[in-house]
Structure 1
Amino acid sequence: MSASVSMPLGGVQVGSFDSYEQAQAAVDYLADQKFPVENVTIIGSDLRQVERVTGRLTWGRVLAAGAAGGAWWGLFVGLLLGIFAVDGSAWIGSLLTGLLIGLLFGMLFAAIGYSASRGRRDFTSTSTVVAGRYDVMCNPARAEEARAHLARFSLRG
């Protein structure tokens, strides 16, 4: 069945919730009631991006993060090269060489990237997209049954 112009994407609204966890719990309740949840869609509306500043970005933090990332890549390359080592000391040598080169290149590339920003973003942050409302939508043929189940769900909690 394809959506028509008059029917919104996902069907008709059978519930609206303030958080995704509440909408997810409602759909889980429908599944527990043996409702065919393949007829249900959760749609987030009123989207906004939330960026939480986690700290100040300094040269020390930039170089440390670059060194850590480069060290992991160097360790990986060293392990791959260690496969071709003829004895144990050559294996350890390739591992340590890869680790050291990766550490140095990681610091170098992090320093280049940070200096190219010229201080326009001297902080670290994490970003998420959140919705102001989460609507549970359902195929119109099953909407009344879903509403009845969700009415019992809302009385539970």
Structure 2
Amino acid sequence: MTEQPRRSVATYETYQEAERAVDHLADQGFPVQRVAIIGRDVRLVEQVIGRMNYGKAALNGAASGALPGALVGWLFGLLDWVNPLVSSLLLALYGLIFGAIVGALFGLLLHAMQGGRRDFASVRAMEPSRYEVVADEEVADEAVRLLGGLQTTGAGERPTPT
């Protein structure tokens, strides 16, 4: 994340190809700290994974509340704040149960507050259409030269110098 002027030295369709190109530069002794991989033309993809109802909302809330509850309970047991005779595992179990209950209630409440506007669950991801390998202006010509000999495999293309 330098303020150096950078130039694109190659473009790839997949991140794995761009990563392989930088690895190739590293194998050739190139100063890879002067290189970056930049995803271009990023789009948001939201994949719907199922319906959301009160049961699933409660289950998701319970799952997200259980771990923090267990960790808080374990910390109380570890630091012996409650009773030195009570094991930290027992307090972690109580914390897990309490966290799951509170999380389920919050999940139900949040789902009810949606008012039927979002009755589905989804996963969001950012997907670039291409990946550019860029290098600092002073070393860009050397990077282009080194990447010229790199052969891609499979579905990829040869590096596109830019």
Q: Would the TM-score normalized by the shorter structure come out above 0.5? A: yes
| Superposition deviation, residue 2 in structure 1 | 5.0
State yes or no: 1:85 paired with 2:86.
Answer: no
**Any residues of structure 2 matched to 1:66-77 within 5 Å, and which?**
66-77=61-72
| Superposition deviation, residue 145 in structure 1 | 1.7
User: Following the alignment from structure 2 to structure 1, what is the Cα–Cα distance between the partners of residues 145 and 69?
Assistant: 59
Identify which of 116, 141, 160 aligns with 1:144: 141
| Superposition deviation, residue 81 in structure 1 | 3.3
| Superposition deviation, residue 136 in structure 1 | 1.2
The structure with more helix, counted as a fraction of residues: 1
Match of 1:31 in 2: 26
User: Following the alignment from structure 2 to structure 1, what is the Cα–Cα distance between the partners of residues 100 and 3?
Assistant: 54
State yes or no: 1:119 paired with 2:121.
Answer: no
| Superposition deviation, residue 91 in structure 1 | 7.4
State yes or no: 1:135 paired with 2:132.
Answer: yes
| Superposition deviation, residue 101 in structure 1 | 2.8
User: Following the alignment from structure 2 to structure 1, what is the Cα–Cα distance between the partners of residues 59 and 146?
Assistant: 54
SS for the counterpart of 2:49 is strand
Give the share of equivalent positions with the same residue, in percent: 38
| Mapped contact 1:54–1:123 kept (Cα < 8 A) | yes
Counterparts in 2 of 1:124 and 1:91: CA distance versus 1, 3 Å = closer
Amino acid at match of 1:39: R
**Gaps in structure 1 of 5+ consecutive residues:** 4-9
TM-score (norm: length of structure 2): 0.78
User: Following the alignment from structure 1 to structure 2, what is the Cα–Cα distance between the partners of residues 133 and 90?
Assistant: 50
| Mapped contact 1:85–1:91 kept (Cα < 8 A) | no
Match of 2:156 in 1: none
TM-score (norm: length of structure 1): 0.80
Counterparts in 2 of 1:151 and 1:104: CA distance versus 1, 3 Å = same
| Mapped contact 2:18–2:131 kept (Cα < 8 A) | yes
Q: Deviations over 1:106-133 (max 9, x none)?
A: 1211111110111111111111111111
| Mapped contact 2:61–2:103 kept (Cα < 8 A) | yes
Match of 2:52 in 1: 57
User: Following the alignment from structure 2 to structure 1, what is the Cα–Cα distance between the partners of residues 111 and 128?
Assistant: 32
Pairs aligned (count): 149
User: Following the alignment from structure 1 to structure 2, what is the Cα–Cα distance between the partners of residues 149 and 123?
Assistant: 49
Match of 1:7 in 2: none
Q: What's the Cα RMSD here? A: 2.5
**Gaps in structure 2 of 5+ consecutive residues:** 154-162
Kindly name which structure, 1 or 2, has the bigger radius of gyration based on alpha carbons. Answer: 1
Counterparts in 2 of 1:39 and 1:102: CA distance versus 1, 3 Å = closer
Counterparts in 2 of 1:143 and 1:68: CA distance versus 1, 3 Å = closer
Amino acid at match of 2:128: A
Counterparts in 2 of 1:96 and 1:21: CA distance versus 1, 3 Å = closer
User: Following the alignment from structure 2 to structure 1, what is the Cα–Cα distance between the partners of residues 87 and 32?
Assistant: 59
